Structure 1
Amino acid sequence: MSKYKEIKKITVSHLKKMKQDGEKIACLTAYDYTSAKLVDSIGVDLVLVGDSLGMVINGYENTLRVSLDEIIYHTKAVKRGLKRAFLVADMPFGTYHVSDEETLNNCVRVIKESGAEALKLEGGKEIAPLIKKITQAGINVVGHIGLMPQFVHAMGGYKIQGRDGGEKLLEDAKALEEAGVFSIVLEGVVVDVAKKITESVNVPTIGIGSGKYCDGQILVFHDVFGMFDDFVPKFVKRYADVKRVIVEGGTKYVNDVKNSEFPDDEHSFF
């Protein structure tokens, strides 16, 4: 049994110590109060309100349209459902790309209004100076390198990263660590490169489609539980088929209403 399971509230210090102890960090996304309560109850260590909400919640084509207001709204809801898990919010595309002053204002706003305990920003050594300013302002930051959805057009699509040996990714990871991030998400990185990065930095790496050697793993809530099937990445393992359960139950409900079998006496007042 994990000694961390009994911890009432996960902090940055716990996450860093998990890496030192060889304890894998279990992470999931959540976007509302109900899903947050569920993932918190099963022992997830870190919850991310990802800009993936653009696709799985709002039906956008990609993450680029997600606004700061949307992130704040959903993070506030998730915050109400969490007791134990550490809460991270994504900074959407365009909210940290114009100026340092605007970036800091946006970051402070998310922390103050949403209750997030940390923010995640995509980018490597090119944004390390900016991340240093954010961390020096007292804000916890998670880095994100490899396949970066906010750069999907610049990268020419959703392509696996690190097949060139991964030297740039390793440089990025080290630059982010030096800038003060407490963790780094590695997305879509080939296994051997993700392993090398994980062994080369002192902060935990959180993998998504990057193999088993990362210090932790994260997946999208709707992917894990089979609720979203517009597309299913190769790296996703489905642990439940919730969509099937909802469709079967929903079909029965519709039939009962159509056939005047619901509501019956048991579900009525006299």
Structure 2
Amino acid sequence: MIAFRRHVVVALMLMALAFASLARPVSASSVAELEGAWAVARATMNGEPRTDGKVLNATWTFRGTELVVQTARGERLRSALSFDATANPPALHMTPLSPTGGQRPLWMIWARRGDELDVAFYDGIDQRPEDFGPRRKLVVLTLVPAIAAPTPAALDPCKILRRAGVDRLLGGPTRARPQQRPASAPGSSCALDRTDGSAVITLTLVGPPAGPEYAAAARTEALANHRMQIEDEPSLGAGAFSAASGWTVVVVADRRRTAMILKLEALRVERADLQRFAARVLDAL
């Protein structure tokens, strides 16, 4: 028994060493490994996944001592970079160039993990992170090479809703609702009102690479909202779920690395009808 325990301890130590060798950050001299374009596939803050559309699917392009960040909606931020060659993990200081759009200088650390790049910084605080946390106000982003992030085909949420039979689902004709979406809103979206004002349905699509992570983060946020009733929707795929509160139902699923967020506000729609409608929407992705 003692010999067995010793073998187990040795095995665990070897596993820990192997993991550490895979996860260790690149050396500060390997700044060239940052070069190129990256896409944000995952975001956490305080250790919790986030669904911030201004961050997810943004493109980060490193060119020497310059970083250009472009959100999925086209907003751009240019920053000058200075590197700390002595830091471990590797660190850089980012100074926004005019116009700043309210952005402030900040410290950032990074680590390469295979084909992924992790970066971490404090939200609104110009302080160098000690590690990748989780810590209060620490934002950690996982980026993948933009060349490896598939470009989704142009998907029109309004057309998808109509082809899926939205008028039949809501029991009457619909019209598009003009939208003024905040910059933090994710992906592309369409809202259709029933013409008598009795119902509204909204479809939001978040494409790759962040689509699956967005769906997972949405589930975490829904579970934290104790006013919502959460149910799994296995017929819509692994991880799919619906969240209901009052007359509002939200269905979240992903297909082909694109997240579907279907929000229905209506008095009389059968659950089975909504499930079939959501399945038709997914089939269009």
Q: Could you tell me the TM-score, scaled by structure 2's length? A: 0.21
